[in-house]
Chain A
Amino acid sequence: DTAVSQTPKYLVTQMGNDKSIKCEQNLGHDTMYWYKQDSKKFLKIMFSYNNKELIINETVPNRFSPKSPDKAHLNLHINSLELGDSAVYFCASSQAPPGQGIVGGNTIYFGEGSWLTVV
């Protein structure tokens, strides 16, 4: 079974549309994340949640809204998609609470990515 799974893997949509990417982890982790990888392969954190609570919110347009119905799921909803939103979005999870995540000796596990193309 895949530890961190995202759907869809590929998504092509028109500007102005609203879309969601779903993420689920079966590792029993408390913390989940969304990372964005741009066209130059640069990876940057967008959000992190711990037990359904938002912990990290980087400078991300408010068109992006994460939702965590439970600690095993962290979905990313994007409103009014723009061309610049085209990227690969990675979901991830780790065991420990924020501020101790990797300091505590745990590791962030990544999903396989969702390739979003806005046309």
Chain B
Amino acid sequence: AQSVTQPDIHITVSEGASLELRCNYSYGATPYLFWYVQSPGQGLQLLLKYFSGDTLVQGIKGFEAEFKRSQSSFNLRKPSVHWSDAAEYFCAGLSGSSGDKLTFGTGTRLAVRP
């Protein structure tokens, strides 16, 4: 079955530290992959997306993600975290066979220490 897994439920980092949020996917073919962020009480905002081509994708707010086929991963990174980055982060995937059914991971809650 097609799935997206986020192994970390909670992560806490210090402000200014680097960040990596993990995402693994399980699809028959190369999926289309996304990272969304949900701030407390807010909707979902798209950070970045991977369709094809360059495996290192740049997004908004200084985030980037790298697609690694050999590891079935699409980890989200940021070199220096700001307090305003504290939020819930969702990885999501889609394949051609699933139409528009975006499959979400269970999310990773990021806390930022001052």
- When chains A and B are docked, how far (Å) is the Cα of A55 from the Cα of B99? 10
* B101 & A45 in contact (Cβ 8 Å cutoff): yes
Query: Quick check: is A64 within 8 A (CB to CB) of the other chain?
Result: no
- When chains A and B are docked, how far (Å) is the Cα of A110 from the Cα of B96? 21
* B99 & A98 in contact (Cβ 8 Å cutoff): yes
Query: Quick check: is B25 within 8 A (CB to CB) of the other chain?
Result: no
Min CB distance B58 to A, Å, is 15
- When chains A and B are docked, how far (Å) is the Cα of A82 from the Cα of B45? 29
Give the residues in chain B near A99, CB-CB below 8 Å: 99-100
Min CB distance B36 to A, Å, is 7
- When chains A and B are docked, how far (Å) is the Cα of A66 from the Cα of B96? 25
Binds B, one of A14-22, A70-78, A101-109: A101-109
* A98 & B100 in contact (Cβ 8 Å cutoff): yes
Using known A-B contacts A43-B104, A98-B100, determine if residue A110 contacts B90 with beta carbons closer than 8 Å: no
Closest residue on chain A to residue B52 by CB atoms: A105
Using known A-B contacts A41-B106, A45-B101, A48-B100, determine if residue A102 contacts B43 with beta carbons closer than 8 Å: no
Main secondary structure of the interface of B (DSSP, over half): strand
* A33 & B100 in contact (Cβ 8 Å cutoff): yes
Specify which of B96, B100, B106 lies most central, judged by the most chain A CB atoms within 10 Å of its CB. B100
Query: Quick check: is A68 within 8 A (CB to CB) of the other chain?
Result: no
Using known A-B contacts A56-B99, A98-B99, A99-B99, determine if residue A112 contacts B42 with beta carbons closer than 8 Å: yes
Interface residues of B (CB under 8 A from A): 32, 34, 36, 38, 42-46, 49, 51, 88, 90, 92, 94, 96, 99-102, 104, 106-107
24 A-B pairs with C-beta separation under 8 A: A40-B106, A42-B107, A43-B92, A43-B104, A45-B100, A45-B102, A48-B100, A55-B100, A56-B99, A56-B101, A90-B43, A98-B99, A99-B99, A99-B100, A102-B51, A102-B94, A102-B100, A107-B34, A107-B46, A108-B100, A109-B46, A110-B44, A113-B42, A113-B44
Interface residues of A (CB under 8 A from B): 31, 33, 40-45, 48, 55-56, 58, 90, 94, 98-99, 101-103, 105, 107-113
The 7 closest A-B CB pairs, nearest first, are A112-B43, A101-B100, A110-B44, A43-B104, A99-B99, A41-B107, A102-B94
